[in-house]
Structure 1
Amino acid sequence: MSRTTRRRWSAAVLAAAAGLVLTGCGHPAEPTPAPRIDTAFELPGDRVYPEGIALDERTGDAYVGSYIDGTIYRNTVGATRAEVFLPSGTDGRRTANGLRVDRAGRLWVLDSTAGVAVYDIDSRQLRARFDVPGTGDRFVNDIALGPDGTAYLTDSRRDLIYRVTPADLDRALTGAGHGELSPAFDLASVLEPHGPDAYTLNGIVADPTGAYLLTADSTGGDLYRVALTPDSTPIRRVNLVGGELPLGDGLDLQGTTLRAALNTNNIVSTWTLSDNGYTATRTAEHHDDSLGTPTTLVHDRDRVLVVASQFDRGGPLGPGTPTAPFRVLAVTGL
């Protein structure tokens, strides 16, 4: 059954957005309604703990990965319950973080301790794999695809962004099917100081013009702009107006609208970017415990799909028992 909840906007955002603004006639403006939260679809299993989500723009199908065991689920358009697409242990994977579907119909699946696996969706066959270089600590977390097909991956333990270019992928596809991730950007020198056990770079999105990337620092609560074209400051902290991104996890970019999931805070927030991406102004922030520790989100037509991970209920972030079934939420009005 679909469950609908309506909760509160943060008081500051509600006041700024509507409640205290007077119209030209001197009357109070109508309050902005709170977003509506429904179940988009359920995930089978009692210990799914989903982390990443991707949409296939060709079909509208959604893919979700289990952080706990690496199972990949597919939900077809109109279905209320997802099915297993790639079982746990497929090609040796036992975890799944960020997911993306490229224009050629390939599913990119991040393995936090190994790298990224690239699957052909139609055949479900592994086509290529790129491994993290070296033997040190690593946590490959999220992925964005640039307009030219280049993949960018964050490493939350090394403060790095890796890059897989179309040429890199072609070499793997026509060769042994294997490659190594290439570090493209090192943000260690610009991030806020943090302890040795901190997890930093997390969600990442690519500007559709190919000018820059945006990535969230979960520990510092900051957003960083990484230039992909010539810029006097190649890596800079974005000026956040109206708030920060504490525990910032997944990001979604739709035009100049940036959405962020703040995981254990049970918050989704909306920001408007300046044309150059140097400034982001918070336009709304919504807290609701039913978000279930949201790890990421993606826009799908007139709604936003939000992954309710329940990581803090017997998962990687805390003790307890999850509420069955695990769900992906549909949020409208965000």
Structure 2
Amino acid sequence: MSRSIQRRTFLTATAAAIAATAAGAPPASAAPGLSTAPVSTPRSSTRRISTAFELPDDRAYPEGIAADPRTGALYVGSYTTGAVYRAAPGRRAAETFLPPGADGRNTANGLKADGSGRLWVTDSTAGVAVYDVRTRALLARFDVPGDAPRFVNDLAIAADGSAYLTDSVREVVYRVTPAELARAAAHGGRATLTPAYDFGGILAPHPAGTFTLNGIAAGDHCLFTVDMTGGALYRVDLITGRIRQVALHGGDLVNGDGLELVGTTLWAALNRTDTITRWRLSADGTAARLERSLTDPALQIPTTLVRHDGRTLVVRSQFDKGGPMGPGTPETPFTVAWVRGI
């Protein structure tokens, strides 16, 4: 799919999402296992937002972020160039880890560092590439088959080491198991992505080509993924394969982008509205209550976030300033923010 088609599709989906929900849904009665405490919205939120580190490219338009669980290094991907940047612990400036266009990569949106020293990097136009973080060597690539539109967006790593990837246009979640990764690495480094879960007919009705599935997070024997246009959250049972919609209390996830899950706490970046939300999941993961919400233009179109050292790191994409969401000139350097109180 060409970059111009991607951009039109992205804008169409975003416009549809905004039109669908102008404000959060009214609070509903709490589901079993969820309290009815009111949502807290921090005041003077700009004081809670500061720069964690800067990115080296003035056309970076960052999209994804990953924290290495072994070293504490942070990796950020560029949506516009395919570069991947690395920020060492304590450093205020990131360096280029993988150069623009490396290995034919057009974009670098979803990123995850696993516990085995590998960095997974999605290319929305092609699939996912897996790198050795020590040597920067490409270990394997998994490509989306066919010529139909696709948009491989975000990914999560489950407890068994399997990677799960959302496709925002095809409405599927792909899976790469450790055995498939080892087989691909041993036989030329190339393989094909195959869908593990199909959301066709499950998502709310929408025009063809609309962006739907976006952020994804792995829990205990389950996955959570967001429909950015419909504003819904879905739970996938990794044992039974059942897909069910999570009951949201106190709001919705329209414009939902990256997700971060720690225990029963789920964070979400809502890109177009410059918002970060925090949700409390019920014990069985079938319901979630909005606990906190922070909206501030200083978030600069947040596309994703990660919890690191007890704090929240947020990618400030500035997609609306000369990027895929609108014309203009971005503020440089591009940065990743620390956000407190959320």
* 1:279 corresponding residue in structure 2: 287
Question: What letter is aligned with 1:218?
Answer: M
Aligned residues: 308
1:234-273 counterparts in 2 under 5 A?
234-273=242-281
Counterpart Cα distance in 2 of 1:53 and 1:245: 20
Counterpart Cα distance in 2 of 1:17 and 1:291: 20
* 1:146 corresponding residue in structure 2: 158
Give the secondary structure class of the aligned counterpart of 2:226: strand
Spell out, residue by residue over 1:16-51, the C-alpha distance to the aligned partner (whole angstroms, 9 max, x if none).
Answer: 2579xxxxxxxxxxx988571110000012111000
Counterpart Cα distance in 2 of 1:310 and 1:194: 26
Deviation at residue 230 of structure 1 after TM alignment = 2.6
Q: Does the C-alpha gap of structure 1 residues 46 and 33 become closer, same or farther in structure 2, counting only changes over 3 Å? A: closer
Contact 2:106-2:125 at 8 Å conserved across structures: no
Contact 1:302-1:332 at 8 Å conserved across structures: no
Counterpart Cα distance in 2 of 1:18 and 1:267: 13
* 1:214 corresponding residue in structure 2: 224
Q: Does the C-alpha gap of structure 1 residues 173 and 333 become closer, same or farther in structure 2, counting only changes over 3 Å? A: same
1:224-235 counterparts in 2 under 5 A?
224-230=234-240, 234-235=242-243
Counterpart Cα distance in 2 of 1:302 and 1:153: 26
Question: What letter is aligned with 1:227?
Answer: D
Contact 1:296-1:307 at 8 Å conserved across structures: yes
Deviation at residue 178 of structure 1 after TM alignment = 1.0
* 2:328 corresponding residue in structure 1: 320
Matched, 1:122 2:134: yes
Matched, 1:203 2:215: yes
Question: What letter is aligned with 1:332?
Answer: R
* 1:89 corresponding residue in structure 2: 101
Match of 2:143 among 131, 136, 139: 131
Matched, 1:299 2:307: yes
1:178-197 counterparts in 2 under 5 A?
178-197=190-209
Contact 1:304-1:332 at 8 Å conserved across structures: yes
What fraction of aligned residue pairs are identical, expressed as a percent?
56
Question: What letter is aligned with 2:38?
Answer: A
* 1:39 corresponding residue in structure 2: 51
* 2:13 corresponding residue in structure 1: none
Return the TM-score normalized by structure 2. 0.87
Contact 1:294-1:307 at 8 Å conserved across structures: yes
Counterpart Cα distance in 2 of 1:250 and 1:18: 21
* 1:23 corresponding residue in structure 2: none
Contact 1:65-1:71 at 8 Å conserved across structures: yes
Counterpart Cα distance in 2 of 1:16 and 1:157: 35
Matched, 1:163 2:175: yes
Give the secondary structure class of the aligned counterpart of 1:167: helix
Deviation at residue 175 of structure 1 after TM alignment = 1.6
Return the TM-score normalized by structure 1. 0.89
Counterpart Cα distance in 1 of 2:150 and 2:166: 10
Counterpart Cα distance in 1 of 2:294 and 2:40: 15
Contact 2:40-2:293 at 8 Å conserved across structures: no
> Computing the radius of gyration over CA atoms, which structure comes out larger, 1 or 2?
1
Counterpart Cα distance in 2 of 1:312 and 1:198: 19
Counterpart Cα distance in 2 of 1:194 and 1:249: 18
Match of 1:16 among 13, 34, 38: 38
Give the secondary structure class of the aligned counterpart of 1:311: coil
Which has the bigger relative contact order, CA under 8 A and spacing at least 6? Answer: 2
Deviation at residue 94 of structure 1 after TM alignment = 2.0
Counterpart Cα distance in 2 of 1:163 and 1:171: 14
Question: What letter is aligned with 1:91?
Answer: D
Counterpart Cα distance in 1 of 2:183 and 2:209: 36
Deviation at residue 323 of structure 1 after TM alignment = 0.7
Matched, 1:177 2:189: yes
Deviation at residue 134 of structure 1 after TM alignment = 1.6
Deviation at residue 226 of structure 1 after TM alignment = 0.9
Counterpart Cα distance in 1 of 2:39 and 2:280: 13
Counterpart Cα distance in 2 of 1:133 and 1:18: 45
